[in-house]
Chains A and B, each alone.
Chain A
């Protein structure tokens, strides 16, 4: 299958590190895509506690003493989880915005502005993330 060059002794010379916008966009998109997949599995694991919880008694459910509610309450009580949620939002928003940018690129729309649309995705992601902080962190302290 695929096979790449190895220059041996001089492999570590003239390594390319000065990336331009499009390359950063690609790296971030790959990274965020895989983080989202990772989250998907933890998300499924957490939600699955709802299956045993469904068998709990009416009273236990009303009192919030079932596994599902307990799990959620415990997780949301952790500051780390709250911070990770802000991170997750940032990752998801960037992936959506840059994903839309990539779809436009695939359609051949606005290729001259591909760097600007990447910067716009970044700025918008930053703004939305900052705006979300009060909601996510509320009551964590």
Chain B
């Protein structure tokens, strides 16, 4: 549905511009009138919704962080309060979308799948890193404070710059590599069930950056690879199909100065990961792999 909408508006504006040149002034008038009526309608709707929300007992109070360095009135960070009618099963993302669609169309946040799979809506909800679409309103104390992820530059409202996070992910070469390919050209690269089981949890990462944001060490050391990237490295280092050479290369990446040894086992990443990946466990296992790799008693 959401993919259809923009197309429709594009089409209608196209037809408008087509008819325009013939009677310019008339078109201008019509558009101004249209805009005025739309404005009125929106204001009316907002008033109605606010009234409804005030009358309705089941409303959710949302305090949402607002900031936009490019708009003069929003350069000073502030919190806006939105009252949203509660519906059963409502998530924080639902409430934000309602606020945006009903009260303030300039409210900015990322979202796409709404089912905890695209990883675009990690936010700071009531003081913790949460995936907005996976967080039930009914589980939270009100008013609900929604803020952008800590330890990342804020672009606008709830949107943070994830470029650095992606750089760290890229740094561990997050893709399958191997030197021993199967013989036939179309032969499958098979993995044992046990080995698949071993890397299973680590493959679940949706690159949401919640773990990176929760990590005290990552906050103090910008070069630290961070839990998600190390987990990615784990996913491939533990994959037996990659072979010894590649594993060696992977261990070299994760045991450098800003790699696994920065981890102080605070378990924050493991607590916040919306996909329940045992991040600390994976980091600890890579530490032991790195030690075993470097210690030789024979």
Residues on A close to B: CB < 8 A?
Answer: 2-5, 7, 9-10, 13-23, 25-26, 102, 105-108, 111, 114-115
**A7 to B219 alpha-carbon distance, docked (Å):** 12
- A7 to chain B minimum Cβ distance, whole angstroms, is 6
Residues of B within 8 A of A (CB): 65, 67, 75-77, 124, 126-129, 147-154, 213-214, 216, 219-224, 258, 264-268, 270-271, 278, 280-281, 284-285, 287-288
- Residues on B with beta carbons closer than 8 Å to the beta carbon of A13: 65, 67, 77, 147-148
Across the interface, name the chain A residue whose C-beta is closest to B128. A18
Min C-beta distance of B230 to chain A, whole Å: 15
User: Are B147 and A5 in contact, CB atoms less than 8 angstroms apart?
Assistant: no
Q: Which residue of B lies closest to A21 (CB)?
A: B267
Contacts A10-B77, A114-B267 given: A108-B216 contact, CB under 8 Å?
no
Flag if A22 contacts B124 (CB, 8 Å). no
Residues from chain A with a CB closer than 8 A to the CB of B270 are 22
A111-B271 in contact given A7-B153, A10-B77, A14-B65 (Cβ < 8 Å): no
Known: A5-B151, A7-B154, A26-B266. 10 other contacts (CB 8 A): A2-B221, A2-B224, A4-B220, A4-B222, A14-B124, A16-B127, A16-B213, A26-B265, A108-B281, A114-B265
Please report the C-alpha to C-alpha distance between residue A25 and residue B65 in the assembled complex, in whole angstroms.
31
CA distance A17 to B70 in the complex (A): 29
Contact between chains at A111 and B148 (CB < 8 Å): no
- Is the Cβ of A106 less than 8 Å from the Cβ of B220? no
**B150 CB to nearest A CB, Å:** 5
Residues in A with CB closer than 8 Å to B214 are 16
User: Contact between B219 and A10 (Cβ–Cβ < 8 Å)?
Assistant: no
Min Cβ gap A25→B in Å is 8
**A-B residue pairs in contact (CB < 8 Å), sample of 15:** A5-B153, A5-B219, A5-B222, A10-B154, A16-B150, A18-B128, A20-B268, A22-B265, A22-B280, A23-B216, A23-B267, A26-B266, A108-B281, A114-B265, A114-B267
A111 — which chain B residues lie within 8 A by C-beta? 278, 280-281, 284
Q: How far is the CA of A75 from the CA of B78 in the complex (A)?
A: 54
- Contact A2 to B65, CB < 8 A, known contacts A13-B147, A106-B287: no
**Chain A nearest CB, measured from B262 CB (Å):** 9
| Known contacts A4-B222, A7-B153, A16-B150; A108 and B271 CB within 8 A of each other | no
**A residues near B154, Cβ cutoff 8 Å:** 7, 10
- List the A side residues contacting B288 at CB < 8 Å: 107-108
CA distance A22 to B266 in the complex (A): 5
| B147 CB → nearest A CB, Å | 4
In angstroms, how far is the closest chain B Cβ from the Cβ of A41? 25
Question: Which of A3, A16, A105 contacts B223, CB < 8 Å?
Answer: A3
A20 touches B151 (CB 8 A): no
Q: How many Å from the CB of B261 to the closest CB on chain A?
A: 11
A106 & B221 in contact (Cβ 8 Å cutoff): no
Query: Within the assembled complex, what's the spacing in Å between the Cα atoms of A75 and B219?
Result: 43
User: A106 to B148, alpha carbons, bound, how many Å?
Assistant: 33
- Which of A10, A19, A108, A115: most chain B CB closer than 10 A? A10
- Within 8 Å by CB of A10, from B67, B265, B268, lies B67
A97 to B113 Cα, complex, angstroms: 45
Known: A2-B221, A20-B268. A108 touches B127 (CB 8 A): no
How far is B288's CA from A108's CA once the two chains are assembled, in angstroms?
9
| Closest B residue, CB atoms, query A18 | B127
- Find chain B residues with CB under 8 A from A20 CB: 267-268, 271
Give A20 Cβ to nearest chain B Cβ, in Å.
Answer: 5
